[in-house]
Chains A and B, each alone.
Chain A
Amino acid sequence: MSWFIGIMALATIALVAGLILGFAAIRFRVESDPIVEQIDNLLPQTQCGQCGYPGCRPYAEAIANGDELNKCPPGGQATIDQLADLLGREAKPLDEAHGEEAQKTVAVIREDECIGCTKCIQACPVDAILGAAKQMHTVIADECTGCDLCVEPCPVDCIDMVPVATKPERWKWQLDQIPVNVIDASKAASAESASKAS
């Protein structure tokens, strides 16, 4: 009889625990971030298509389905490392076939030469070009991702990719990159004498 009590007790505990767990699984369900979303968040969102997919999200989906991580030149090695970290895969060097990690650029339209064909507007993946047919176009520099996609369609080649200028508030304290400027003592002295004369 004792064995029966033991089995019954265990069965009861199992049933109660199972009910609690089952309830908790439904009641406290956490909507986990789908892996595609997580990958997409790591990608630089330039929408440049250098990976061979029409945008960052399609590439994120491809990675989730097993594509290589090293096809994103704008993201560079940092993005590859982050993706490898996220997915637990091996971080490979950037695939040169898709381009090289280059300096960040922004598209600039030489506005005098623009004929207003709207081809670049159609090419821009983030709608960062303003303009209308037969009107001059211009790039919203803050929204431009530097993807190069507008350069090819331009029939008059009036779009330049210009490196983004460093602003003081975004300077990265690379003291070794400041041009060394030896302060000229004689110049300072002459300035002094000039000011004293005045």
Chain B
Amino acid sequence: MAIDISATSKLWSFPGGIHPPERKAPANMTAIQRFPLPPVLFIPLRQHAGEPGELCVAVGDYVLKGQPLTIPGVDNGLPVHASTSGTITAIQQHPLNHPSGLTGLTLCLEPDGKDAWYPRQPIANIDAISQREVLQHLQAMGIAGLGGAGFPTARKVAGARNIDVLIINGVECEPYIVSDDRLMREHAGEILAGSLLLQKLTSAKQLVIAIEDNKPEAAAAFAAAIHDSNATDTDTTELKGAAAVLKIVPTRYPSGGEKQLIQILTGKQVPVRGLPADIGILMQNVGTAFAVARAIHHGEPLLERVVTITGEAVHQPGTAWALLGTPIEYLLAQSGFRAQEKKQRVIMGGPMMGFTVTNLQIPVIKTTNCILAPSQKELAPAEAEMACIRCGACEIACPASLLPQQLQWLAKAKDYDGLKQHNLADCIECGACAYVCPSQIPLVQYYRQAKAEIREQAIEQQKAEIARQRFEARQARLEREKEERLAKHKKAAEARKAAQAAQAARQTESSTDGEQDPVKAALARVKAKKAQQDRGVEPAKSEQKDAVAAAVARAKAKKAERDANAESTPATTEKKDAVAAAVARAKAKKAERERLAKLEAENIGDSENKQNATNNKGNENS
């Protein structure tokens, strides 16, 4: 089903959303300023999503405005360009425009004030060259999405197939930020030109420009630009029929989010883990469209962007064309920044999605849309977090139909699987839930940490997988080398053996020549003897058998003799009888002797008794 959006077609709605105070005035009251050149520019090598390119300048080089400073690396990223002419004074670590406050490799460019241009190569006729060449030109011009993430535009366009609708996003729903608003008011014609170029590149059937209803001036400027383009571009009749449609959407935060705006305009939802291109939609920011127009029609790389400098701590709030690399301290100073209190905060981005900067020397990069210096009264600093009372306000506010409260519990419990199941990845970090939370819970902070942890785990998992493969490859290699070594040793041993055998053979061969006849004769003798022995084996066998038979016979004879000896036992019985007789005799003798001894003892006893009696008598007498 093709999407058809006309000026009168129905607007849909997305769930949730909030209405924070807009505070777009007074920054949107004044025209975009152009400050004098800053004393120094800090150009980080990495300004977009992806890996930084390779440096192609050195310290001390003089560079011209628009000269590329890096060449895209292996991941086909974007180059960075010199924002003005001047000298590269240093290439060093410098605080990055990042919430972490970490440093990164940065080029320091000292402007010479001439603002001399590097040769520009505009594309005169886009129809004369292929889409691929145009996209390569956009990449070389360093065009990135200026709406938020800074994704390379050429890659986004190249990846989009079968696009029905190209939406140019001029919603700019976040409070305070007026960069796109001012750009649309002042350069609607050029944005429209860029949008038409993008439409041609994507072959989109329709071009829709969406603006929130709190920017009537911008809408009027666009309406006029569309009218003009229809009136003047009589030659591009094929585009005329499908001229840009201007849609005014109601003010509600975050209607400028890609998925939310698609839902408002088409009533369709971008699938989970999908891209808008999956449902035939491509979205670009108005700033990107403007940059595309400048890059194609004028050959200008992306060197500057509109930055809103606002907040009560700034005396002259407004917008300015800031060269990429301008330190934000310079922009604040130019706008009359006076720190209101001791703990003055400076926020990069808006109050909903921005982050507090840690260093004022951080540069403006491609995605910097606002520098906000609020007073304490204006934007109260975060209060102490209180317990969740399960009021459910966050769930009502969530534009992605998630369960912020549940996500918060899971994030606190570090249940990353649970967070994945609850589609944490679909959170756009708009901050609506934290804004409505009565307990001042920094919900988005929890989600960001959890997302970072999930991402970290995925990276670690990937690294572990690579390490495992390398380990296994190494083990396999070591095993193979060991086997090869063994095979080599074996081969060498065999070769040695073969060599020895060959030598021996050579020796025998040489002996046949006659010199060593005795040896040969001896060998022959030995051989002959052996042969004889071999021949003698047959008769010897029968001889041996006879010998065995004889031995057996001898043994039998011996046994028989032994048996014969055994028959001479009567002699032994006689002997035994004799012994027995002798024993009997001895016994008889003993018995006789005992009898005699008894008798004798009896006789002696009688006489003794007599003697004893007479002795007793004699004693009594004495």
Q: How far is the CA of A116 from the CA of B288 in the complex (A)?
A: 53
Q: How far is the CA of A195 from the CA of B98 in the complex (A)?
A: 26
Q: How far is the CA of A125 from the CA of B96 in the complex (A)?
A: 36
Shortest Cβ distance from B414 into chain A, in angstroms?
9
- Hey, what's the 0/1 contact readout for A162-198 against B, CB within 8 Å counting as 1? 0000111011111100111111110011011001001
Q: Are B333 and A192 in contact (CB under 8 A)?
A: yes
Shortest Cβ distance from B328 into chain A, in angstroms?
10
Q: Are A143 and B467 in contact (CB under 8 A)?
A: yes
- Hey, what's the 0/1 contact readout for B426-464 against A, CB within 8 Å counting as 1? 000000000000000000010011001101100110011
**Residues in B neighbouring A167, C-beta threshold 8 A:** 102
Shortest Cβ distance from A158 into chain B, in angstroms?
23
Shortest Cβ distance from B192 into chain A, in angstroms?
35
Q: Which of B15-23, B60-68, B336-344 contacts A (4 or more CB under 8 A)?
A: B336-344
Q: How far is the CA of A9 from the CA of B309 in the complex (A)?
A: 87
* Nearest chain B residue, comparing its CB with the CB of A140: B470
- Known contacts A168-B100, A183-B360; is A195 also within 8 Å of B470 by CB? no
B473 at the interface (CB under 8 A from A): yes
Q: Are A44 and B464 in contact (CB under 8 A)?
A: yes
B148 at the interface (CB under 8 A from A): no
Q: Are B466 and A179 in contact (CB under 8 A)?
A: no
A87 at the interface (CB under 8 A from B): no
A45 at the interface (CB under 8 A from B): yes
A95 at the interface (CB under 8 A from B): no
- Hey, what's the 0/1 contact readout for B460-500 against A, CB within 8 Å counting as 1? 10011111101111110000000000000000000000000
Output the residue of B332, B339, B359, B473 with the most chain A CB within 10 A.
B339
**Residues in A neighbouring B344, C-beta threshold 8 A:** 183, 185
Size bracket of the A interface: 35 or more
Main secondary structure, interface of B, reads: helix
- Known contacts A45-B464, A127-B474; is A182 also within 8 Å of B338 by CB? no
Q: How far is the CA of A175 from the CA of B446 in the complex (A)?
A: 11
Pick from A143, A171, A192: contact of B100, CB under 8 Å:
A171
**Residues in B neighbouring A188, C-beta threshold 8 A:** 329, 332-333, 337-339, 360
Q: Are A172 and B339 in contact (CB under 8 A)?
A: no
**Residues in A neighbouring B358, C-beta threshold 8 A:** 178-181
**Residues in B neighbouring A56, C-beta threshold 8 A:** 468, 471
Q: Are A143 and B466 in contact (CB under 8 A)?
A: yes
B381 at the interface (CB under 8 A from A): no
- Known contacts A168-B98, A185-B339, A191-B329; is A40 also within 8 Å of B104 by CB? no
A47 at the interface (CB under 8 A from B): yes
B271 at the interface (CB under 8 A from A): no
Q: Are B467 and A178 in contact (CB under 8 A)?
A: no
**Residues in A neighbouring B96, C-beta threshold 8 A:** 168
Q: Are B99 and A173 in contact (CB under 8 A)?
A: yes
Q: How far is the CA of A198 from the CA of B360 in the complex (A)?
A: 20
A126 at the interface (CB under 8 A from B): yes
Pick from B104, B360, B465, B471: contact of A55, CB under 8 Å:
B471
B101 at the interface (CB under 8 A from A): yes
Shortest Cβ distance from B320 into chain A, in angstroms?
13
A145 at the interface (CB under 8 A from B): yes
Shortest Cβ distance from B261 into chain A, in angstroms?
26
Among A37-85, those with CB < 8 Å from B are: 40-41, 43-47, 55-57
A128 at the interface (CB under 8 A from B): yes
- Hey, what's the 0/1 contact readout for B10-39 against A, CB within 8 Å counting as 1? 000000000000000000000000001011
* Nearest chain B residue, comparing its CB with the CB of A81: B414
B346 at the interface (CB under 8 A from A): yes
Q: Are B333 and A125 in contact (CB under 8 A)?
A: no
* Nearest chain A residue, comparing its CB with the CB of B346: A183
Q: Are B474 and A145 in contact (CB under 8 A)?
A: no
Q: How far is the CA of A46 from the CA of B467 in the complex (A)?
A: 7
**Residues in B neighbouring A180, C-beta threshold 8 A:** 358
Q: Are B339 and A143 in contact (CB under 8 A)?
A: no
Shortest Cβ distance from B368 into chain A, in angstroms?
15
Among B581-607, those with CB < 8 Å from A are: none
* Further pairs besides A47-B467, A180-B358, A195-B38: 17, Cβ < 8 Å: A44-B464, A45-B463, A46-B467, A125-B471, A127-B474, A143-B467, A166-B102, A168-B102, A168-B104, A171-B98, A172-B456, A181-B358, A183-B346, A188-B329, A188-B332, A188-B333, A198-B36
Closest 5 CB pairs of A and B: A185-B339, A192-B333, A45-B464, A45-B467, A126-B470
Enumerate 29 A-B pairs (CB-CB under 8 Å) in ascending A order. Answer: A43-B464, A46-B467, A55-B475, A56-B468, A56-B471, A57-B471, A125-B471, A125-B474, A126-B470, A126-B471, A143-B466, A143-B467, A145-B467, A170-B455, A170-B456, A171-B98, A172-B449, A173-B445, A173-B448, A174-B449, A183-B346, A183-B360, A184-B339, A188-B332, A188-B339, A192-B336, A195-B38, A195-B330, A195-B333
